[in-house]
Structure 1
Amino acid sequence: MHSTEQDWISTPLTADLVRGALELERTARGVLPHRLPARARAQCADGQLAMAESQPSGVRLVFRTRATAVELDTLPTKRAYVGAPPRPDGVYDLVVDGRLAGQGSVSGGDTLTIDMTTGTAENRPGPVGTLRFTGMPAGTKTVEIWLPHNETTELVALRTDALVEPAPAAGRKVWLHHGSSISHGSDAASPTTTWPALAAARGGVELINLGLGGGALLDPFTARVLRDTPADLISVKIGINVVNTDLMRLRAFAPAVHGFLDTVREGQPTVPLLVVSPILCPIHEDTPGPSAPDLSALSAGRLRFRAAGDPAERASGKLTLRVIRDELARIVEERAAEDPNLHHLDGRALYGEADSAELPLPDALHPDAATHRRIGERFARLAFTAGGPLAGSDL
């Protein structure tokens, strides 16, 4: 039963309550968290990037309160793919004093229908919905509401049954991470179980996730965002999107990586910086992109991808994951001679041949929930523990 209006205290949705977003856009109904600032968004008209950066992976509301009940009105954007089964509603995770205390979803919202065979999309507007959590423990506590990592979410209103105040900074190191849809969260079970969120929790660091589905393409504007966003630790996971979009050849790739790293270093010259190569992806290990939907699977109601390139095209400079791993290892080794805080991690240490045999990628590109957990645990161990490239003296 919905409580009466006077039982609730409304709190404005301001930047001091939101973490993990780089900008809040004022909209007609509320605020829309963005993971790329307006200047970066203005430099690329790609609809896929616009969708990805507005999906709030790693974005959460964080506040202190004595409230035992909270309501959050949101306007989600649901995605639907022509010919594929309906996607489940995005999941919100409630975390109280560092522990998962509840989960929920919001129905309604806008619907973006995507036709992967034609590359077209159609948006249908829908109503605002309400997320409600009750029965939170009494007493003052830190409450986090993690927004769905894969569902654009406009924040409309926040109501509680006690006053809310911004939570003070926890004093943890800020980890800024950029990568592809795998870092974005792909098919993780919920926003706190994407591999970067799991790794951040294990590493005791504050996450800013710039994992952008389809958007880890060495774009100069992304490098400038990494350059200009204050951080204590930075990682960039490069490779799969360059291959599966068939974006560039070997001649362009190495200078683009150098330029990307040069730009980051302009603003963050001594911050520990970890370059991570692609996890194992069998369809693109030796076969160039682009990736294309497997139409036979789509006709059976399953979303699956295939490599549409020809292995013979490697001779003309087309990129595969093996080529990219070798290039990244070489580039980092060369640069590290003058940049002792630059490090390299082979992505197959996070997910390799044995993992692929045990936990194959369901759609041939993206890890599932169990694999996100494995990657997150391994990254935390390899990167954040003592002696790791992102380990600080106080971690």
Structure 2
Amino acid sequence: MSTTTETVLDGYNDETSSILLRSDPKETSNGRVIPIKHPVSSKVDFGAEVYGIDLNNFNDADFDLIHDALHRHKLLVFKEQPAMLEPQQQYKLTSRFDPDNTSGGFAHGVDPYLTTHNGVDIYGTPSRPAIPDQPQVHILGRGKLPDNHYGFPPDFEMKTVDHVKFHAPPHIPDDEREKGASRFYQWHWDGSLYNIPPPRVGCLLAVRTPKGPNVTVRWDDGTGTEMQVAPGATAMVAGSRALELLDDETRNIVMHSKIEYAPHTFKWMSTARSTRLGHTLETEGFEIPLDQLPAWSKDKICIYPMVWTNPLTGEKSLQVHGQGAFKLYLKSSSDGEETIVDDLAEVRAFMHKIMRPVLSPENIYAHNHQEQDVILWYNRALWHSITEFPKSYGPRIMHQCNVAASDHPSG
């Protein structure tokens, strides 16, 4: 379907959408946006599939449609792509959501040197190497890369992250993992949590996906909760749903409160261990002391509201990172008295209180990646987590792009 070119949002239909655009009247988009139909038992209300747009050749009218659809649906799945999305186009798509951004840097800062091949330096880490020609695009997953993959050495093998290295025990035994027992690794939104503003959007291309039956994700928190998901699925929940599920008193508090994240957050927490559900850290005193971290300054500490607002729709979302939380500033009204919580055990107890209600199967969408499909999500309204799968299912190779924003969230 073609689109006309008048006012943004007029003409939007929730079944198959066409949006009147800001772009050059000479350009049109053939894009079609179809909301994902979730099971009747599901409480998930986000996500849409997009057809008719070739992301390697999108125009201004296509982007206007994508921009408005993403803010409304929060997750877009681009189907029937005629070819793999090129890294340069993936960066172009992702960075365009922030026209005020002149730096265009990777959302976690400068990558370390990794290796050299054919005279080309490759940066990143074994679990997240950057593509040399477009270093804001990183490769994620596990297993060998395809041959001649963007300048990487032959037989380059991705090293995955897994819960045994990160979660506190008891861990799932290896034999049960190989039979399909799985976990959520870490519930989060993308961002460095120190100095660098978190991305507005994230973008993921499925290059290789594991092949095998569904896996069983275990909560392992004493509730006996489990969920069947496709192998290698990315799990997502909406911050708006998380906010909705809070009791009135707690919701009122988070609407007026802020979180301070630790300096060099991921370095600080690198020696700590996650809870088994992957939403907070165990309080064991294993964090790196602040005076042993790389040099840091108070003016680069990130202090964010707990609730963020979608600039297009006005929808409010609970957007918190439970593992990086260092200090809380709690208020029950805009002019109310502020309570500062700096005991980590108390901080994490509060984070559990506000995050755990939404982390139930009916609120989780586990996206089943199909090779060559691209997903784009609004990073300031969703949380996500990878899920584990048996190594025998084969490689999971993904290209991810997220770009540091020009602004920090302000509520």
Of structures 1 and 2, the one scoring higher in RCO (CA 8 A, sep 6+) is: 2
Q: Same fold (TM over 0.5)?
A: no
Give TM-score, length-normalised by structure 2.
0.24
Q: Which has the higher helix share?
A: 1
Give TM-score, length-normalised by structure 1.
0.25
